[in-house]
Amino acid sequence: MRDFSNCRRIVVKIGTNVLTRNERLDSQFVEAVAADIASIRSAQRQLLVVTSGAIGMGAREIGVAPPIRQVSMRQACAAVGQPLLMNTYRSAFAAHGVSVAQVLLTREVLNNRRSYLNLRNAVETLLGIGVLPIMNENDSVSTAEIGSAFGDNDQLSALVASKVDADLLIMLSDIDALYTGDPRLNSEARPLRTVSALTDDVLSSAGGAGSSFATGGMRTKLKAVAIAERAGCRVVLAHGRENAVVARVLAGEEIGTLFLARDRLSNRERWILNSAPAGRVVVDAGAFAAIRRRNSLLPTGVVHVDGTFAAGAIVELAVADSSKVRARLITSLASGDLVSVMGRHSSQVASLLGPGRKEIVARPEEIVFID
Ligand code: GLU
């Protein structure tokens, strides 16, 4: 039996596929999910909702046929649909005496410490006065083209869970569990009830690139799990159309797949890990072994620099001969300076860059490993 009795803060993510029926927002479903969520809120238990559906609802309202690929049209549809979506939630929750608030996010808002603190104050205040925050991406202003988009609400929900220190993220979608293979292609595929670590085996269950199952959204869900688990937040993936699914998950019923959490990283470590990187440094195997032993990253171990970034930026780190990202770090050298000193001994930094410059690329506490 699962035990969620000590969960104080819970994020429920509601995906487009479960919200809609025949391409229309299913208001009966919204009413059911509102009743479900309202039933488990209490003075000790705070709920936040991350919802999709704005673009689809806007498209229907103004008569634009899906799929909508043009970025500006998606933005326009989101602007039309978001208030309609909120209105549906507002009436559904009002029936249970719950007031709701709209919170729209971009990746920049979460990455930037100042705007994130503003956001946190607002959300904490809403939760403190018993209002339910309903969040979505601010699709009208964030686009993948300018790097400000989350891309999908799966990752947005995990970042929200991480930022508010949630104990549990419940992802409601039209997939009832993570399976050992693609259940549509393989009759032997069976659902996994508990996943204790995101091993290569588990990741391959989500389907390799190009498999039809991979486009079914499981990969983005596992990316979200990877974010949540480092924040000490467990995740349950369940079918949103199950009756009273949120209350039953919380009561410990074995519904869907439970992903266990790891030790919670500090806020600063999570910020380094989850921010969009401004560039990439590639290091040699020796330097990687050294930083693994909690030593600083020195210019001598850097073999390649990608991108243009300032000192203080967050960049990703890979090891030569592999494109796999192994860590993220705060660089104390801007990209141009790093290119000038890479491969050189720290004692040469002053003569190359001028006196008083940092001789290391990153200290151990500024490096967070991805595994
Ligand atoms: N933010 C989008 C919307 O509300 C949905 C993104 C997603 O479903 O992942 O329409």
Residues 49-70: tens digit of each pLDDT: 999 999 999 999 999 988 888 8
- CA 77 to ligand 1: nearest atom: 10
Average pLDDT over residues 365-370: 96
CA 16 to centroid of ligand 1, rounded, Å: 7
- CA 16 to ligand 1: nearest atom: 8
CA 142 to centroid of ligand 1, rounded, Å: 12
What's the mean per-residue pLDDT of the chain?
91
- Taking the C-alpha atoms of residue 198 and residue 235, their distance in angstroms, rounded to an integer, is 12
Residues 6 or more apart whose CB falls under 8 angstroms from that of 266 comprise: none
Q: What is the SS3 assignment for 40?
A: helix
Tell me, yes or no, if the pTM score tops 0.75: yes
- CA 156 to ligand 1: nearest atom: 9
Q: Give the CA angle between residues 195, 201, 205 to the nearest 5°.
A: 80
Average pLDDT over residues 240-245: 96
Q: Is the dihedral of CA 204, 205, 211, 213 positive or negative?
A: negative
- Taking the C-alpha atoms of residue 142 and residue 19, their distance in angstroms, rounded to an integer, is 22
Going by C-alpha positions, the residue among 165, 131, 121 that lies closest to residue 267 is 165
Q: What is the pLDDT of residue 213?
A: 43
Asked whether the predicted pLDDT for residue 216 surpasses 60, the reply is no
Asked whether the predicted pLDDT for residue 210 surpasses 50, the reply is no
- CA 52 to ligand 1: nearest atom: 4
Per mean pLDDT, which range of 18-32, 134-148, 269-283, 327-341 is the poorest?
Answer: 134-148
**179 token code pair:** 């399976």
CA 292 to centroid of ligand 1, rounded, Å: 38
Q: What is the pLDDT of residue 204?
A: 77
- Taking the C-alpha atoms of residue 112 and residue 135, their distance in angstroms, rounded to an integer, is 18
Residues 252/7, Cβ–Cβ less than 8 Å: no
- Which residue segments constitute the domains of the chain, with CATH numbers given? 9-270 (3.40.1160.10), 277-369 (2.30.130.10)
Q: What is the pLDDT of residue 354?
A: 85
CA 161 to centroid of ligand 1, rounded, Å: 17
- Taking the C-alpha atoms of residue 171 and residue 11, their distance in angstroms, rounded to an integer, is 8
Residues 42-54 pLDDT 10s = 989 999 999 999 9
Torsion-angle region of residue 208: left (phi > 0), alpha (psi -120 to 50) or beta?
A: beta
